[in-house]
Structure 1
Amino acid sequence: MQSNNSHNALHSTICRLPTELLCQIFLYCMPEDEEWTPGPDPSLAPMLLTTICRRWRDVAVDIPSLWRKLRLEVGDSDWQKKAFCYESYLKRSQGRQSLTLEIRDEDWTVPRSLLQPYVHQISNLSIELFPGVDSCPVVAADFGGLQELSVHNYGTAEAIANSVAQLPPNVHSLKLTNVWLTKRELSGFNPLAWASLTSLEIMVEELNLIPCLLRLCPNLSSLTMIGNFTGEIETSEILEHTKLQSLHLDEASDVDTRENASRIFELFDAVTLPNLREVKVCNIGRWPHEEFKELLERSQCPLERLTFDGFVIRKKEELAEYVTLLPLLKIAMYPHY
């Protein structure tokens, strides 16, 4: 009897908590991993919070930030059962929505109709393509409010260019993982298709893509390229890009970089980057010292940080020359070779 009274007293106290305090408690109940976007799960917040009592439900439903991250599974056998939950999330977010589309089926008809009323409130979209999906059925241009877009290809999908050929005007960040676009595909894009981008992470099969990328993205401030830095850059003149501040180059080739030097020097010879502040290179083999030094002198850039990661062959005397040229430059090496 005493136990029941204690429980009732505790329940009564919790129910009387001010709404503002409940809101803070509910926010702390959300999954801790900021990078992970869960699907609707009755055993986890925020859905769990709506099952405790009527007041908690009313408070939880009225906190838009609880409902602003959603993982939607396209091709799930329980689609009809989950569709109601998906729509509840979209309605309750009342504004900016971070949406992850887990695509296991190319039939986009039903998900499109569900999302249509909310396309302008989805600001962050992550598309995950799983094995068995040959092409991406989602077109980024359909999401008018989009600001950040990521495409992760976990299978063998190839026909992806159409999905990113025209980005909405406010998209500033694009990340393409295991998505290999060709120069022919990029050259066919509208010249203004990627003009709003300030951050780009992309995989490349040849260096000759780089001039095309820089022309497509005149406002780019951060560029990460992962792939094979081979071949020659075909350009008749040095290309100047005035906005680029951060350049990250990661050689993904399986070749023995001790014997097959990366042709990164082709890039350093082909561009002028007057606003460059940070450079990071990873696993590129022999470091093209002379070409990089000429880039710095030609660009007259305020480089602040130079980072070597993985297997990069360089000499101490070369690094000393950079410090002489730029006294405030910080050089980091992981690991040391």
Structure 2
Amino acid sequence: MQMRNTADIVGPSRAADLPPKVLEAIFLALQAQSINTIVIADRPDCGFRAPWVATTQVCRRWREVALTTPKLWSAIRITAEDCEAEPINTLLQRSGDEDLEIHIDGLRLDMREACALIQPHGQRVSALGVEFDELQAETVQVLLLHMGPRLQMLQLVCALPAVECGLTLDPETVPGLQVLMVRHIYLQPAAEMASLKELRLEQLWGAGGKEQRAKLLYDILASFPNLEFLDLTDAIPAAHDVDAEAAPILEFPNLRSMTVNELAIDLPANLGRLKIPESAELHVTARYESCPPEWDEENTVLPMEVLGEKHFDNFPMLMEATDLSLTLGARCCLPDIMVQGGNWSFSIPSMEDEAEGVNRLPEFVNHILDGFPDVILRPQNVKFLNLHISQHLPDYDDWAVLLSEFPNVFALTVGGRRAFNAVVRALRERKEELLPKLFQLTACIAVKIDVNTKADARAFGALLVERAAADKSLKSLIVNVPEMPLNDATVRLAGSLVAHMSLRGGRVRVERKACIACHGYHEH
């Protein structure tokens, strides 16, 4: 039997014969893939991922379509390698009246010449990103004055903290601005800017006068009352520079997400001045310096204190939180300590340990275990509780005290075999008072190959019998095991737990899902 030549069926490829509108759509789609967004990233391939291709290197038909599609020429990156006036002006001419996306890398070129090319077309710019140093700030300021109502995205990155100067922005000049990112320099709006939806401030430490940093930051924030996204990274002033009593609380009624990544010592004073709606997402990362803090010092801010005294007023999503997840001791791939709910998270990154790369501060862990039920949220509101603990495991009595804080938990997840056994013991020995409404139990387990798990399974079976006798039966069991091939010990324990639950008519399910904290699994 002979195979027919497929070329006889479909014919040769004739991409050049496609209709102009189809080619135009293809070119625009490829342009979107070949160009990053205007976001200035800390990597060498930001902006254009591929070099410009001369129109003389493509076929005549493609060239005709490209030359009559102004949008293909509207994204312009000016660098030391691509800064000649003639090709830049050619691109500007071919772009017609399309909105322009401009990125200027001014660190290795004459910023005045680059800005002079763009200024006559400033009214067409919709996205502008500029990298510069402090000596070029005045030239950047002049460029901003030439922007117009089409500008929607603005990103300004100063190479080092600008100490002597800052930038200003006139809302009347750019009334359509929606996204603003600033690094290493303060930018002060001349008046309130209601149009701005997204604000990202990075690495403002060292910028501006030290005594003015608090005023500068909060004047900037007050200028954007309609923010929907706020991201602060190394941007807040030192705690001793913030006068929380004298300054009013800033409210952002439209905010959808706030992300803060700062030193723990500065967080309470600054977070106490910000108020966001209950529906917003809140993500706080509290960093400690490389040396462990002195716990007996008066100015030490412990993990559960970073949100400030008025956190229930300022962050109402904590007051009504019904789900809570605690991860302690996750290695490398997650923050070492993380407390999170449905639309909020609080994390402490690992403090470097040369041998293990994990946080070796038991005081942190103990403080979190002792403090997080009452300090972070209202424990009586919690219905879903997830506990993944791989370091500094509490003993049986501490587990019992911890679980007693959550009388209304409906579903409990416990990570790690030893933690699971301790919880089972606590539930058996204090069955009259612990988790009376518990309906579902999830065990997140991975067992070492040489561990005997018969006693673990028997204890779980006894728990099921005792709770049934007390009319508090467990109705559902989920066993979460690693995605990697399982050893015999893990299979035996998981199988035994499932068997005990099935014999008593409960629902069971086994999930294979990697848990970095409980399974010791790493993605790298």
Shift of 1:262: 1.4
Corresponding residue number in structure 2 for 1:65: 71
Report if aligned partners of 1:306, 1:332 keep a CA contact under 8 Å in 2: no
Map 1:12-27 → 2, pairs under 5 A = 13-27=14-28
Q: Unpaired segments of 5 or more residues in structure 2?
A: 1-10, 38-45, 206-212, 289-301, 322-341, 351-363, 389-514, 518-524
Aligned partners of 1:89, 1:71: CA distance in 2, in Å? 10
Q: d(CA) in 1 for partners of 2:61 and 2:345?
A: 53
Aligned to 2:312: 296
Query: Which of 368, 376, 379 pairs up with 1:315?
Result: 368
Query: Taking structure 1 as reference, are residues 58 and 327 closer, same or farther at Cα in structure 2, changes over 3 Å only?
Result: farther
Q: Work out the number of aligned pairs and report it.
A: 302
Match of 1:221 among 220, 224, 228: 228
What is the TM-score with the length of structure 2 in the denominator?
0.49
- SS state of the match for residue 176, structure 1? strand
Aligned to 2:343: 305
Residue in 2 that maps onto 1:262: 265
Asked if 1 retains the 8 angstrom alpha-carbon contact of 2:55 and 2:63, the reply is yes
Letter aligned with residue 104 of structure 1: L
TM-score (norm 1): 0.72
Superposition deviation, residue 67 in structure 1: 2.1
State the identity %.
19
The code of the aligned residue for 2:73 comes to W
1:239 alignment partner in structure 2: 249
Match of 2:122 among 119, 122, 132: 119
CA spacing shift, 1:28–1:319, aligned 2, 3 Å: same
CA distance in 2, matches of 1:298, 1:110: 48
Letter in 1 for 2:151: L
Structure 1 residues 50 and 280, CA gap change in structure 2 (3 angstroms):
farther
Change (3 A) 1:49 1:217: same
* Alignment-derived partner of residue 106 in structure 2: 103
Shift of 1:19: 1.7
In the TM superposition, 1:66-85 aligns within 5 A as 66-73=72-79, 76=80, 79=83, 82-85=84-87
Residue 202 of structure 1: aligned partner = 201
1:146 aligns with 2:158: no
The yes-or-no answer on 1:176 pairing with 2:176 is no
2-side partners of 1:143 and 1:332: how far apart?
A: 52
Deviation of 1:161 after TM superposition, in Å, equals: 1.7
- The alpha carbon displacement at 1:57 in A equals 1.0
State how far apart, in whole Å, the 2-side matches of 1:221 and 1:232 are.
Answer: 27
C-alpha distance in structure 2 between counterparts of 1:330 and 1:199, whole Å = 33
Report what 1:6 is aligned to: none
Instruction: Quote how far apart the aligned CAs of 1:196 are.
Output: 2.9
Q: Shift of the alpha carbon at 1:280?
A: 1.3
Aligned-residue offset at 1:218:
1.4
Q: Is the 8 A contact 2:158 2:185 kept in 1?
A: no
2:489 matched residue in structure 1: none
Shift in Å, 1:331: 9.4
How far is 1:249 from its partner? 1.3
Aligned to 1:138, the other structure's residue is in SS state helix
Which amino acid is 1:147 matched to? Answer: Q
- Residue aligning to 2:191: 191
CA RMSD of aligned residues (A): 3.9
Q: Report if the CA contact (8 A) 1:229-1:262 is conserved.
A: no
Structure 1 unmatched ranges of 5 or more: 1-8, 254-260
Secondary structure of the structure 1 residue equivalent to 2:18:
coil
Cα distance, 1:166 vs. partner? Answer: 2.9
Cα distance, 1:273 vs structure 2:
2.7
| Structure possessing the higher radius of gyration over alpha carbons | 2
Question: 1:169 and 1:239 mapped to 2: Cα distance?
Answer: 26
